[in-house]
Amino acid sequence: MKIFDEYILPSGVELKNRVLMAPMTNFLSNEDGSVSLKELDYYARRSGGVGAVLTACANVNAQGKGFEGEIGIDRDELIPGLRKLAASIHEQGSKAIIQIYHGGRMCPPHLVPDNDTVSASAIPAEREGAKTPRAMTEDEIEQTIIDFGESTRRAIEAGFDGVEIHGANTYLLQQFFSPHSNRRNDQWGGDVQDRMNFPLAVVESVKKAVTVHADKPFIIGYRLSPEEREQPGITIDDTLQFADVLATQDLDYLHISLSKFEQSSMRDANATTPVIKQIQHRVGHQVPVMGVGSLYTAEQVEQSLETVPLVSLGRELLIDPDWIQKVKSEESVQTKMDPEKKEEVIIPEPMWTNIMSVPNWIPVKE
C-alpha cells in the first residue's frame, strides 16, 4: 500500500509513511500555555503509527492566543514543557511538528491583553457577536514576524522536527491574505500580490531561524485554506497565485485545509474539479502537497494518495488512535466514535465535551 511508503521531504527529513496526524485544537494545555500531563498522554496515544504528528496550534505571542487551553510557544520558560511534548511523540516513533500561529481577529477578547484583538484591518469577522478588531500598527506587524522566528527557535531548542506555519482557517496570516479582512493601503495590503507580503515575511523569518539555530534538517510546512465564502473573499485563483509563490520558498509541504478531501469550489456552484487536484496540478511538481478531509478508511486514504503524496488524518485518529497499526495488520478500523471508549482512546476533558458538542463534527456510534 502507498500509505506505508517512506517519503523524503525537500529538507531531507524522512517520514516512515505518507500519513500524518492533522493539527487539532485540544484545549488541554495549562492556563499559562504550558504543556499538561493530559496533553502528553493524548499525543503519546496517537503517536507511533503516523509518520509525523502535527500538534494543535501554538500561539507565537500573547496577542495571538485563540483558545482556552492552548499551547504557548511565545516564551522561553515554556521550552521545558515543549521538550516533553516532542519527546512523548518521539518515544512512540513519529516525527514531531508543532503548528505555530496567531489568531488575529478570531481571538476571544478575554484571552488577549487588554481585550485588544488585532487584525490586518478594523473589519470584524462575519459571525454573530464578532468584535471589530484594531488594525495592527507597522511595529506590531514587524514584531509578529520576529515572533514567528523566535517561536521556531524555541521549537528547535525543544527538539521538534519541524514547524507548520498556520496560514489557514481564518487566522491572522489568512486575514492578511484575504481581501475581506485586509483593506490596508500600505505595503501589507492591496492587490493579491501585496496581500502575500505578510505571510511571506513570516515564512522568511521562520527560514532564517532554522538557518541560524538548527544543526540538522528541519521541516517547514505551510497550511492554507483555499477559499472563503465572504464577499470579497479569497478565491481559488488567488490561492493558485499564492501557491505559485509559496512553491518557490523551499518549503517541505503545502497543507491544504479542506473539510472534504475531494471537495470542489465552495464559491462556484458550477465547479466540478476538486480544489486539491487544482493545487496539485499547479505546484505539485515543485513542492509536496498534503491533503486532508473526511478520510476514514484505508481505501479512501489510498485513493487520496493517487492525487497527492501526503495525507493528514484528524478525526480518524481521535476515533481510532491505532488506525495506522490496524491497517498495517489488516484489522478493521473504527470509523465512528464509541462514547464508551473515552478512556481507551484517551481524550480527556475538556476536549471530550468540546468535540462531542459540535453537531455532526465527529461520527458517533449509535
The residues carrying an active-site annotation are: 171
If we measure between CA atoms, which residue out of 42, 32, 33 comes closest to residue 88? 42
Q: Which helix (H) or strand (E) holds 28?
A: none
| 156's grid cell | 528547535
> By the 8 A CB rule, do 364 and 336 touch?
yes
> By the 8 A CB rule, do 97 and 161 touch?
yes
From residue 276, how far is each of 43, 78, 247, 352 by CA, in Å? 28, 36, 15, 30
Listed in sequence order, the residues at least 6 apart from 250 whose beta carbon sits closer than 8 Å to its beta carbon are 10, 207, 220
As a whole number of Å, the CA-based R_g of the chain is: 19
How many beta carbons lie within 10 A of that of residue 2, not counting itself?
Answer: 16
CB-neighbour burial class of residue 137 (10 A; exposed 0-12, middle 13-18, buried 19+): exposed
